[in-house]
Amino acid sequence: MEVRVLEGRDVLRMGDLTPADVEAILGRALEHKSAHEIGREARLLEGKAVAMIFAKASTRTRVSFEVGIGQLGGTAVYLSSADLQLSRGETIEDTGGVLARYVDAIVIRTFLQADVERLARAACVPVINALTDDEHPCQTLADLLTMKERFGEIVGLGVAYVGDGNNVCASLMVGAAMMGAHVRVASPEGYEPTADMIARADAAATSGGSVTVTRDPAEAVAGADVVYADTWTSMGQEAEREKRLADLAPYQVTSQLMALASPTAAFMHCLPAHRGEEVTAEVIDGFQSIILDQAENRLHAQKALLTHLIGVPS
């Protein structure tokens, strides 16, 4: 009988998962993907409902969750800020407590990590962080799935992240180091991962994994198996756009930078991308880019996460 070690738990940060948890999620994600490809996806969420609270706009996160829940036979209830009484002053605690009486899990995409944590404390069903300003664990699960597919093993991989040490970087550092990869982050002064982010990643590093932060993108990319970039201007940072573009310009991923990586290196980007800013079109649209595999894997990784947390056996 399958041991449901993840059933009923929240995933608010990447560090809420252990290496064994991640292995279980990735293994089930591959099962979901194979079943979907041959049209034999089991309707494991039949009779289940998932609330999806979105305070931030989304393409991949919303579509992958909504479609995935539907493919598994469940009901996805999309709730924008305008749909909820939160916009009229209802507390997060009341919202979470009520929703937990209706649904089997809650997915939330918002700004403040503290809001997600308050919601989780109030709700008696699993809560999943689908992006905050601090972390993006769902993206990292898909990234790790993509690396596993591409390279067979995550242990020992060199993963270079170049650019702004943001929420995606935070979760990637923890997740990849946890699974035994060597993560090297290159960011300019003022854009590097915070001390707290680095400490979380260091604490999570197992199986020989490690985390290094440098100012030099060439140092980070040298010999890497994966080169990862993200947009330099996220939602809420539009007023800083011109300054950010200038500060981060030396960190653009170009074909010259990619040439320093392993000959078999893959380029990854969580999307949306801004060609000509954090990455050139030549790289993101080139033969080393696996961004569409990465985006597709959001679907399968999140289906696996949901079925584990809701407690549905595969």
The residue with greater pLDDT, 57 or 224, is 224
Q: Choosing from 60, 109, 269, 300, which is the catalytic residue?
A: 109
User: Residue 291's pLDDT is what?
Assistant: 98
Is 18 found in the same domain as 144? no
**pLDDT (tens digit per residue) in 187-216:** 999 999 999 999 999 999 988 999 999 999
In which domain, by residue range, is 66 found? 14-135+298-309
Quick one: 289 and 265 in the same domain?
yes
139 is catalytic: yes
pLDDT digits (tens, 9 = 90+) for 56-83: 999 999 999 999 999 999 999 999 988 9
32 is catalytic: no
What is the structure's pLDDT at 313? Answer: 84
Binned at pLDDT 50, 70 and 90, residue 1 comes out as very low
Q: Is residue 177 part of a domain?
A: yes
Classify burial at 3, counting beta carbons within 10 Å of its beta carbon; exposed 0-12, middle 13-18, buried 19 or more: exposed
Whether 43 is a known active-site residue: answer no
230 catalytic residue (yes or no) = yes
Q: Which H or E element spans position 140? A: helix 137-151
Residue 236 confidence class, pLDDT cut points 50, 70, 90: low
Query: Is 9 within a domain?
Result: no
pLDDT > 70 in the chain, percent: 98
- Give the pLDDT of residue 29: 98
Alpha-carbon gap, residue 102 to 100, rounded angstroms: 5
Reported as a single tens digit per residue, the pLDDT across 237-292 is: 677 889 999 999 999 999 999 999 999 999 999 999 999 999 999 999 999 999 99
Same domain, 44 and 118: yes
Looking at every residue in the chain, the average pLDDT score rounds to: 95
User: Which is the catalytic residue, given 9, 270, 294, 308?
Assistant: 270
Report the domain count for the chain. 2
Residues 182 and 37 in one domain: no
pLDDT over 60 (residue 3):
no
**Catalytic one of 9, 298, 300, 308:** 298
CATH number reported for the structural domain that contains residue 240 in this entry: 3.40.50.1370
- Calpha distance 218→237 (Å, rounded): 27
Catalytic residue among 13, 136, 182, 184: 136
In SS3 terms, 267-279 reads as EEECCCCCECCCE
Does 176 lie in the same domain as 234? yes
Closest CA to 232 of 241, 222, 223: 241
Do 105 and 191 reside in the same domain of the chain?
Answer: no
Active-site residue identified among 139, 252, 294, 302: 139
What's the confidence (pLDDT) of residue 240?
Answer: 85
Together in a domain, 100 and 145 = no
**86 plus 161 within the same structural domain:** no
Q: Which one from 225, 230, 300, 302 is the annotated catalytic residue?
A: 230
The H-or-E segment that residue 247 falls in is helix 241-248
Q: Is 148 exposed, middle or buried (0-12, 13-18, 19+ CB in 10 A)?
A: buried
Single pTM value for the model: 0.96
Whether the Cβ atoms of residue 49 and residue 104 lie closer than 8 Å to each other? yes
